[in-house]
């Protein structure tokens, strides 16, 4: 399928994303407890002809990242934090990838010249307090390459908060060896930000990798993409987020699917996403609830959808200077504005 697919994309405007199904993920599919869990997993990683269907509004750079590139590898969009594109390679290729014009196109791990530019930028811009080490997946690199990269950043900016953004806890949990975890621990302050979409992604090995990080004192905040046919149900998401919190992982973001080329079959309409999130809000504690957000097309940045999702709870009130809200019991409650 994959090789035909590449030819079929000619002239359609579609972007070919390589096929990569990690062994650990295949095991999860094979061992899934139900056919619907197996389908939710395989849909994320097995290509489909729907990727050739480009919808209006979809673009090659949905987040407008090129607008904010300060070096070929560094995106500086928000005042105090930057995003580092360590490599174009991933451990597996998610079919809904929003960075699909960068990933899987043979762009290798950051070399010395590009790293020097990044380090110069970090030194020249002390207002930058955090760096998201992303890609691609930084865990594609060897332990030595990864630790050397992080150490080089640490040497020039001892204060910088490192965020390691990865799908390795799901795709290659064996990467988190005692040795790597202890080397990461030595690079603190460092958070691991795993991408996890479905409770069936938390198999034994995956759970062990998260537990190992937590036990070693490395904090974890997860991120999830809302995906049609994968996790577009409040009960599935509630199960995922509750399990993560039990492991010591704080659910960070639930992202609306971006307007990347050919991913429309994964997109849940905003109105439906908001309804799912409203239900989640009732099912989960504040601790377990992630921020539901959309990355605005063209470079507008992340925008929280939790407030708009709750707008219909705001009630009309004859009194001015009060905020009137429907409580969970449906009655109207007020709070003074001033």
Residues that bind ligand PLP (CB under 6 A): 75, 77-78, 81, 83, 132, 302
Q: How far is the CB of 127 from ligand PLP (least distance, A)?
A: 14
- Alpha-carbon torsion, ordered 82, 83, 84, 89, to 10 deg: 180
Q: How far is the CB of 75 from ligand PLP (least distance, A)?
A: 4
User: Which residue's CB is nearer to ligand PLP, number 29 or number 160?
Assistant: 160
- CA separation for the pair 171, 78 (Å, rounded): 29
Task: Give buried/exposed letters for 282-300 (b at 16+ CB in 10 A, else e).
Answer: eebeeebbbebbbbbbebe
275, HSE (Cβ side, Cα atoms, 13 Å): 7
Q: Which residue is nearest to ligand PLP (CB)?
A: 83
Query: Of 240, 161, 238, 153, whose CA–CA distance to 195 is shortest?
Result: 240
- CA separation for the pair 12, 115 (Å, rounded): 36
Say if residues 26 and 97 touch (Cβ distance below 8 Å): no
Say if residues 214 and 249 touch (Cβ distance below 8 Å): yes
- Taking the CB of residue 281, how many other CB atoms lie within 10 A of it? 17
What's the first-to-final CA gap in the chain, in angstroms? 63
> Sheet harboring 221-225: ordered strands across?
221-225, 250-255, 291-296, 301-304
**Residues 102, 167, 182, 205, CA torsion sign:** negative
């Amino acid at each position: 399928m994959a090789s035909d697919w590449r030819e079929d994309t000619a002239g359609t405007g579609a972007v070919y994303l390589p096929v990569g199904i990690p062994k650990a993920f295949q095991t999860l599919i094979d061992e899934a407890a139900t056919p619907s869990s197996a389908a939710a997993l395989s849909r994320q990683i097995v290509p489909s002809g729907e990727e050739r269907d480009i919808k209006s509004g979809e673009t090659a750079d949905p987040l407008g990242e090129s607008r904010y590139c300060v070096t070929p590898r560094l995106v500086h969009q928000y005042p105090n934090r930057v995003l580092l594109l360590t490599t174009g390679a991933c451990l597996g290729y998610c079919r809904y990838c929003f960075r699909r014009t960068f990933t899987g196109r043979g762009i290798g791990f950051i070399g010395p010249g590009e790293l020097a530019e990044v380090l110069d930028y970090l030194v020249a811009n002390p207002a930058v307090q955090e760096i998201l080490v992303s890609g691609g997946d930084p865990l594609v690199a060897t332990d030595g390459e990864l630790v050397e990269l992080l150490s080089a950043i640490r040497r020039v900016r001892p204060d910088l908060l490192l965020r390691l953004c990865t799908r390795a806890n799901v795709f290659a949990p064996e990467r988190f060896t005692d040795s790597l975890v202890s080397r990461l621990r030595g690079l603190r302050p460092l958070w691991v930000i795993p991408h996890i979409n479905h409770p069936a992604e938390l198999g034994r090995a995956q759970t062990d990798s998260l537990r190992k990080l937590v036990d070693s004192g490395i904090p974890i905040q997860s991120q999830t993409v809302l995906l049609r046919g994968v996790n577009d149900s409040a009960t599935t998401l509630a199960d995922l987020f509750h399990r993560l919190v039990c492991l010591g992982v704080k659910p960070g973001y639930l992202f609306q699917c971006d307007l990347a080329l050919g991913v429309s079959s994964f997109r849940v309409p905003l109105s439906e996403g908001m309804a799912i999130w409203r239900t989640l809000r009732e099912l989960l504690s504040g601790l377990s609830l992630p921020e539901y957000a959309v990355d605005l097309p063209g470079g507008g940045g992340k925008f929280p959808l939790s407030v708009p999702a709750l707008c219909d709870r705001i009630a009309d009130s004859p009194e001015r200077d009060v905020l009137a809200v429907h409580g969970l019991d449906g009655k109207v409650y007020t709070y003074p504005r001033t």
